[in-house]
Structure 1
């Protein structure tokens, strides 16, 4: 399993309603115990690299999964993805783009930058919850991921 203080999911989402729904879906189905929610791309990079308010965090304790919104304040999701996937220390962290954008250019650019999966948020509540459940189940329970 995971260490008690290990972050299983880093959820980067500026819409508080979507963040709350995702948290409820994950916790309801016991998919993740330790979830950190951040509201912008700058906070996400600060968390991952132990800067600013997260300066005391162990930067070697990477999240097992990052759920990343595309349209974020300060630093957008594509730039966050670019930084994560261009760094040898963080590029193996699975990143799932979870966004409302169906724009072909966003999808193509996300995959070009190394996203592991691109999922468009369903508008319907039940479908959104089901999508979150499937994401968590696959990336945290089915997918084999080991730290070396």
Structure 2
């Protein structure tokens, strides 16, 4: 059976941010978002908007490209933002504590291909690509866990 898929066009960075803000309050510890796409595709912008929308007082949200993981305390629970671009083997993900965080925190993972066998089967995958217009993005959402069915339908409504 083919897993569910939804596709949408985000016409601007503001639209990308608005989608992240609509998704954020629906997330809870144990939810994992796998964000893929080339450099500059909008992964970090999406993550930044999502994180800031969960913070009581929005703060600066740096890209974790060099720190690998940034951890935030939010009213929704602990949130981990990971950028795995610089990792070469999945064991490094375990060393960072990601495998445990997948169970206990909301996790946003950029460059999820680095996880390989550690990829949670319950995750929601978001694939970002440049759209046909300047600053627009094409977003594909893929999932297999029924937990995401209603949530994605709400986001697209």
User: Is TM-score (shorter-chain normalized) higher than 0.5?
Assistant: no
TM range, normalised to the smaller chain? 0.3 to 0.5
TM-score normalised by L of structure 2: 0.35
The answer to which structure has the higher helix fraction is: 1
Instruction: Flag the structure with more relative contact order, 1 or 2, with Cα contacts below 8 A and sequence separation at least 6.
Output: 2
The answer to which structure has the higher strand fraction is: 2
